[in-house]
Amino acid sequence: MNVVSFFAGCGGLDLGFEQAGFRVVWANESEPAVRDTYIRNHPKTTFVLDDIRHIKPETIPDCDGFIGGPPCQSWSIAGKQRGLADQRGQLFLTYIDLIKAKAPKFFLIENVKGLLDEKFKDVFTDFLIQLETAGYNVQWKLLDAVNYKIPQHRERVFIVGFRKDLNATFQFPLPTCSQPITLNQAIGDITEAPRRYLKEKIDSANPIRHNHDVYVGAFGLYYQRGNRRRPWERPSFTIHATGENAPLHPSSPKMLYWGYENWSFQPNKEDYYRRLSVRECARIQTFPDNFIFDSPDILALYRMIGNAVPPRLGQVLANAIKTTLTNVKIKTSVEVKPHKDYRKAHTLVGYFKNDLHRNLILKHSLYYVRSDGRKGTMFKEDCTIMPEYLLLHHKEKAELYSLVDEEPLLVDASYLETLGFETTGKTYLCFRLKHSQQKNIQDWEGATWRHSKARRKYAPYFTTLDKVIDFTYERK
What does the alpha-carbon distance between residue 346 and residue 167 come to, in Å, rounded to a whole number?
29
Q: Provide the pLDDT for residue 119.
A: 81
**What number of other Cβ atoms are within 10 A of residue 101's Cβ?**
12
Listed by start position, the domains of the chain span 2-180+309-325, 185-306, 342-468
Whether residue 473 has pLDDT greater than 70: no
Q: Provide the pLDDT for residue 267.
A: 96
Band of residue 341 on the pLDDT scale cut at 50, 70, 90: low
What does the alpha-carbon distance between residue 72 and residue 65 come to, in Å, rounded to a whole number?
21
Q: Provide the pLDDT for residue 61.
A: 95
Whether residue 257 has pLDDT greater than 80: yes
Q: Provide the pLDDT for residue 296.
A: 97
Strands (E), 145-185: 155-163
Mean pLDDT of the chain: 87
Beta bridge partners of 263: 257
Buried b (16+ CB within 10 A) or exposed e, 346-365: bbbbbbbeeeebeebbbebb
Is residue 100 helix, strand or coil?
Answer: helix
Q: Which of 24, 16, 79, 89 is nearest to 316 (CA)?
A: 16
Strand duo 23-29 + 2-6: pairing: parallel
Strands (E), 103-234: 106-112, 136-144, 155-163, 195-197, 213-215
Band of residue 42 on the pLDDT scale cut at 50, 70, 90: very high
Band of residue 83 on the pLDDT scale cut at 50, 70, 90: very low
Catalytic residues: 72
Beta bridge partners of 312: none
Q: Provide the pLDDT for residue 466.
A: 79
Is residue 371 helix, strand or coil?
Answer: coil
**What number of other Cβ atoms are within 10 A of residue 2's Cβ?**
14
Whether residue 43 has pLDDT greater than 70: yes
What does the alpha-carbon distance between residue 23 and residue 308 come to, in Å, rounded to a whole number?
18
Lowest mean pLDDT among 115-119, 278-282, 387-391: 115-119
Sheet holding 461-464, edge to edge: 397-402, 389-394, 346-351, 461-464
Whether residue 377 has pLDDT greater than 90: no
Kindly give the residue spans of alpha helices, DSSP state H, lying in 188-297.
278-284
- Identify the architecture of domain 185-306 in CATH: Alpha-Beta Complex (3.90)
Band of residue 337 on the pLDDT scale cut at 50, 70, 90: very low
**Helix (H), strand (E) counts: the chain:** 11, 18
Q: DSSP states of 386-435 as a string?
A: --SEEEEEETTEEEEEEB-SSPPEEEEHHHHHHTT----SSEEEEEEBS-
Band of residue 331 on the pLDDT scale cut at 50, 70, 90: low
What Cα–Cα distance (Å) separates residue 135 from each residue in 53, 128, 236, 363, 387? 22, 11, 39, 21, 36
Q: What is the DSSP letter of 119?
A: G
Q: What is the DSSP letter of 222?
A: G
**In Å, how far from its chain's centre is CA 256?**
33
Give 411-454 pLDDT, tens digit per residue: 888 888 888 899 888 888 899 888 766 665 545 444 454 555 54
Q: Provide the pLDDT for residue 2.
A: 97
Q: Provide the pLDDT for residue 333.
A: 40
- Identify the architecture of domain 2-180+309-325 in CATH: 3-Layer(aba) Sandwich (3.40)
Whether residue 392 has pLDDT greater than 90: no
Rounded to an integer, the average pLDDT of 351-377 is: 87
